[in-house]
Amino acid sequence: MKQLIQNFKTGELYVDEVPMPSISSGMVMVENEFSLISAGTERSTVKIAQSSLLGKAKQRPDLVAQVIQNIRKEGLAATFSKVKTKLDTLKALGYSTSGIVIVSMDKNGLFKPGDRVACAGQDYASHAEIVAVPQNLVVKIPDNVTAEEAAFTTLGAIALQGIRQCDPKLGEKICVIGLGLLGQITCQILKANGCAVLGIDLNEALVKMADETDAIKALNRNDANLVSACESFTNGYGFDSVIITAAAPSNDPVELSAAILKKKGKVIVVGAVKMDIPRDPHFYRKELDLKMSCSYGPGRYDVNYEESGFDYPFSYVRWTEQRNMEAFLELLSRKAIDVRPLITHVFDITDAEKAYNIVLGKTKEPHIGILLRYKASDTKKNTLTKVNNSPVKAINIGFIGAGSFAQSYLIPCVNSWGASLDGVVTSKGITSKNVSDKFKFNFCSSDADDILKKEDINTVFIATPHSSHAELIIKALKANKNVFVEKPLAINQEQLKSIIETKAEFHKPLMVGFNRRFAKISETIKKEFKNIDEPLVINIRINAGLIPKNHWTQQPEIGGGRIVGEICHFIDLMQYFTDAEPLKVFAESISSDNTKITPEDNIAIVVKFTDGSIGNLTYLANGDKSMPKERIEVFGGGNIGIINDFRDGMFFRDGKTIRLKSSGKGHKEEITAFLNAVKDGKESPISFRSICLTTLTTFKILDSLYTGLPQNISLDHF
């Protein structure tokens, strides 16, 4: 299918063939008819990408701070690689579309193939022939509303949310500063609400359009008589409210709003403007209210609402994102507003670059509403896109999942080993296209079956969200593939049982990405404890840092939480140092009334091993990230080995200190060990039993927290 793409590194804009997206539970697949270019927002996005590296840094100082912090933790080389991967990405543009449902997996059964719908959402409702959109960002289009009109729905919802923050009453006088697309729609809705509206803009063409079609009156910001005209319009009282829909680097819209408002009036900020709030003379003396409007409405930036499909109760949250979208379409249906005069250009998707030349000012044409049009065609409905035709090697690899971790660590290590990169699959076609171009895969796809059913792919790497690992492992083993899966192996005991049963039948190597045991410094310390013939005491302290509860890794049904998803690393490392199996585990976490804290992310764990060794793990999310993340201490036989964040270490013996160097956390070494095993026809470098015991231990840690009791660890019942 065709999609408009921007290379974030170079800023280049182009239309390319990418695999169609895949959908999962709670999503709707839509064949677009039209998408709307939001000129203000998208102009800003495109210009950031087209700016230099220094320019990008100036516009995102928060990310610069993260880079500096990462350099302190992981060093310059590792940080540079991460930044390069982040910059070298393809970005989807657009967030407001209309089209026809192809297939729906929405949880409420509301959408059927053939339904006409409007869609919203950055990275979902993109400028592409086919889009996959979460169910709460999809609404049905009334029969008497055209697809062209419905393409404005997202912008309409944004305008509605700004107006709801204003809470205008019949007959109130409202000023709208900024008469671009969002401002024009805002003026129309306010007028339909029975308000007297005055619009202000710097662009004379936009002022004229509003004056003729939308607002009762519109004026140029540079009009010498602007303030007196506002006084006349409001009979000298001032506006009841001002809605700022402009995008401006200056503080002028905020200062102007304060000057023309009545006492106790309201300023509603919808657009991206500078907000240095001057106390005097107006904000303080008039006791003005300042309110922000958040995008399409309640639900925005809430992953439970937008991605997981959980709605807010109608009686308590009357206007959500989706209900704002429905309300806007109803206004169109009742002819209370008319967006047709706002459509100045319509381009086929193949000519999208011409449209953006207008938006960016390269082509000088008056414009406001620019639509991209899509033609129905069966040829676009392909999950697979060929990119290269490189010959495959003895170890031929397919990647299922290719996020930033896979791009930073797994794929480069596979590439440097010398295996062939045949295919890559991600849920979004643009992502798989980006990865295939970057690393020279032969094909990209959005369907895992394109890899699992390809006979000459003999090795599969799985780097998807945790909940999908078990199902993909089982499918890959049954397809006679060697399997490398990023941790964890599974997120519950039922999944673990299924994997064990499948592995008993299909004897292909199965490796989990427990990389720390492969770090050179881990190997060095283990050798120093060789032949001491006594139990070890291992202390591991992890300053993991806070991850918000709404992050996907914290969702039990998707990520499984940090005990399953992260602590497994350190249970495996304990097994590696002891060469023994975990026998029993006990855990305690903090208790807190702070709802932002996940108590089990702050936990003390004691693991007893079959050789008598003890592992103490303290995993913390309530500390400061400036402190190094990981410290490992191994005691036994009069010796002590220490690893400091896998950057350096020490070994103590006979009153002497030996300084140890570290060269990373073992990602390259684990890939090398796995691929060498595959090449030599051997089993996984980590035994399957050990992998299962590590996984089971994480489940028993959860059981210990819930019961308050130590838990025995045994694979017997599996």
CATH number at residue 67: 3.90.180.10
Q: Are residues 570 and 687 in the same domain?
A: yes
460 and 316 in a common domain: no
**CATH of residue 451:** 3.40.50.720
Residue 224 in domain = yes
CB neighbour list of residue 569: distance below 8 Å, 6 or more residues apart:
487, 514, 515, 516
User: Does a structural domain hold residue 297?
Assistant: no
Strand bridging mode 603-609 / 582-589: antiparallel
Residues 704 and 565 both lie in one domain: yes
Instruction: Tell me which of 318, 347, 374 is where a domain ends.
Output: 374
Distance (Å, whole) CA 649 – CA 225? 73
Measure the CA–CA gap between 242 and 235, rounded to whole angstroms: 16
Question: Which DSSP category does 518 fall into?
Answer: G
The angle formed by the CA atoms of residues 227, 229 and 232, to the nearest 5 degrees, is 115
Rounded CA-CA distance 4/42 in Å is 12
Query: Does an H or E element contain 564, and which?
Result: helix 561-565
State which residues form the domain around 490.
384-513
pLDDT in tens, 444-489: 999 999 999 999 999 999 999 999 999 999 999 999 999 999 999 9
CB 266 within 8 A of CB 289: yes
Do 671 and 569 sit in the same domain of this protein?
yes
ω into residue 628 within 30 of 0, thus cis? Answer: no
Please indicate, yes or no, whether the overall pTM of this predicted structure exceeds 0.85: yes
At which of 458, 480, 513 does a domain end? 513
Longest dimension (CA), the chain: 94
Neighbours of 227 (CB within 10 A): 12
In a domain, 113, yes or no: yes
Mean pLDDT of the chain: 92
- List of E strands, 145-209: 173-177, 196-201
What 3-state class would DSSP assign to 292?
A: strand
* Cβ contacts of 17 within 8 Å, gap of 6 or more: 1, 2, 385
Round to whole Å and give the CA distance between 694 and 500: 13
Beta strand residue intervals within 297-368, DSSP E: 343-348
The pLDDT of residue 85 is: 65
Other beta carbons within 10 angstroms of residue 654's beta carbon come to: 6
Stretches in the chain below the pLDDT threshold 50: none
**Same-domain check for residues 687 and 675:** yes
Q: Is the residue at 718 inside a domain?
A: no
Q: What is the C-alpha to C-alpha distance for residues 241 and 263, in angstroms, rounded to an integer?
A: 10
> What stretches of 181-326 adopt beta strand conformation (E)?
196-201, 217-220, 239-244, 261-269, 289-292
Give percent helix, percent strand, percent coil of the chain, each to the nearest 5: 40, 25, 35
Same domain assignment for residues 469 and 526? no
Task: Please answer whether residues 247 and 273 qualify as being in contact, where contact means their C-beta atoms are separated by less than 8 angstroms.
Answer: yes
548 and 689 assigned to the same domain? yes
Contact between 21 and 429 (Cβ < 8 Å): yes
Q: What's the structural domain count of the chain?
A: 4
Is 298 among the domain residues? no
* 222 is a domain residue: yes
161 and 145 in a common domain = no
Q: Give pLDDT, residue 61.
A: 67
Are the CB atoms for 320 and 567 separated by under 8 Å?
no
Cα–Cα distance for residue pair 433/417, rounded to 1 Å: 23
Three-state SS at 617: strand
CB 273 within 8 A of CB 295: no
With vertex at residue 97, the alpha carbon angle to CA 95 and CA 100, rounded to the nearest 5 degrees, is 140
One domain, residues 345 and 388? no
- DSSP label at 63? H
Domain boundary among 238, 258, 292: 292
User: What b-and-e string marks burial along 502-531, b requiring 16 or more CB atoms within 10 Å of the CB?
Assistant: bbeeeebbbbbbbbbbbbebbebbbebbee
In the block, tokens 């002891």 appear at: 578
**Residues linked to residue 346 through DSSP beta bridges, in sequence order:** 371
406 domain-assigned = yes
Task: Please indicate, yes or no, whether residues 312 and 408 belong to a single structural domain of this protein.
Answer: no
622 and 676 share one domain? yes
Q: Answer yes or no: do 220 and 279 share one domain.
A: yes
Q: What is the CATH number of the domain that holds 560?
A: 3.30.360.10
Q: Distance between CA 76 and CA 520 in Å, rounded? A: 19
Residue 353 lies in a domain: yes
